[in-house]
Amino acid sequence: MDSEFINSFRSYQKTGNFWLDLNPITKLNICLAFAFSALIMLDWRYGIPLCLACCVVALLAGKFKVFFDMYGKVCMIVILFVTIVRQIGMRTGNVTPFINIFGWQWYLESFVAGWDRITFILGFSGSLILFFATTPMRDLMYSFEQLGMSHENSFIMLASMQNIIDLKKASVTILESQKSRGIETDGNILVRAKAFFPTLGPLLLGAIASTEEKAIAMDARAFSVKRKHTFLRELAPASTTQKTLSIAAWVFCAATLVFRFIR
């Protein structure tokens, strides 16, 4: 047997990357504090550097692809929509012509207001996507359990994620077999809406029926026994430095609030 793999459980899980090895709770504190600071500032001059900072951290953590797969999509939609909506919404009153795109006059004030709002959303989104892209859910749940959360909640979270993967696979299979059995899955919207039920139905009833066995199987694994659990896979608890980092992040967030009020 691979003793290196087995030995890895004997010490705290580590990757050697500073950001990745931060305790999930520390990471969560930092990311949440910055996410809220974006909402508080509502200013592109703060938002753009924050968004870029998220990208840089993701890059340094070696998770840029995972991060940007999600973040890129959000950015595109938000930038496009909000820019256009603002140009439509704010074009009267005291406005300065900015650029003209094929006869469509854009105004500076609405453009800036748009970018304030864009970075408000993207600063918030970037910080949280960064958190999830660099923190496995099981690590987060482990940390919450260390803080006293029940293992049932961990189970709900982790089992949901696995169920989504499993049922997604199954739904593609069922849809294909529906097609081969002659149930129309193309055509007008009503036809397609009707195809929804025979696809979802068997999938869902099967899944519901399996919960009974799942409950029995998990009970055999002592899932419901009231006892203090041990953990095979452990993470290092947050050091004093890390705790200080968390507090600093929230102090910074509070400072943005004060700044916003004074201004």
**Cβ 241 to another protein shortest distance, Å:** 26
Residues 59-98 that bind another protein (CB under 8 A): 70, 73-74, 77-78, 81-82, 85-86, 88-89
Candidate ranges 12-20, 22-30, 94-102, 118-126; the one touching another protein (CB under 8 A): 118-126
Task: Tell me the chain's radius of gyration from C-alpha atoms.
Answer: 25
Note whether 203 and 172 are within 8 A (CB): no
- 3-state helix vs strand vs coil in the chain, percent to 5: 75, 5, 20
User: Of 32, 245, 227, nearest to 129 (Cα)?
Assistant: 32
Q: Which of 60, 75, 167, 245 binds another protein (CB under 8 A)?
A: 167
Q: Contacts for 132-137 with beta carbons within 8 Å, 24 or more apart?
A: 133/58, 133/63, 133/66, 133/67, 133/70, 134/19, 134/20, 134/27, 134/57, 134/58, 134/61, 134/63, 134/67, 135/24, 135/27, 135/28, 137/161
Amino acid in position 242: Q
Q: Which of 53, 95, 138, 146 binds another protein (CB under 8 A)?
A: 138
Nearer to another protein by Cβ, of 101 and 240: the residue is: 101
Amino acid in position 259: F
Size of the site for another protein (CB under 8 A): 95
Task: Report if residue 200 touches another protein, rule: CB under 8 A.
Answer: yes
Helix (H/G/I), strand (E/B), else coil: 16:
coil
Q: Which of 101, 180, 216, 263 binds another protein (CB under 8 A)?
A: 216
Task: Report if residue 234 touches another protein, rule: CB under 8 A.
Answer: yes
User: Of 134, 146, 138, nearest to 31 (Cα)?
Assistant: 134
Q: Which of 22, 33, 35, 249 binds another protein (CB under 8 A)?
A: 35
For the chain, the residue count is 263
Nearer to another protein by Cβ, of 63 and 242: the residue is: 63
Q: How far apart are the first and last CA of the chain?
A: 64
**Cβ 244 to another protein shortest distance, Å:** 26
Candidate ranges 96-104, 110-118, 239-247, 255-263; the one touching another protein (CB under 8 A): 110-118
Q: Which of 165, 236, 247, 257 binds another protein (CB under 8 A)?
A: 165
Candidate ranges 22-30, 119-127, 246-254, 255-263; the one touching another protein (CB under 8 A): 119-127
**Cβ 98 to another protein shortest distance, Å:** 18
Nearer to another protein by Cβ, of 60 and 70: the residue is: 70
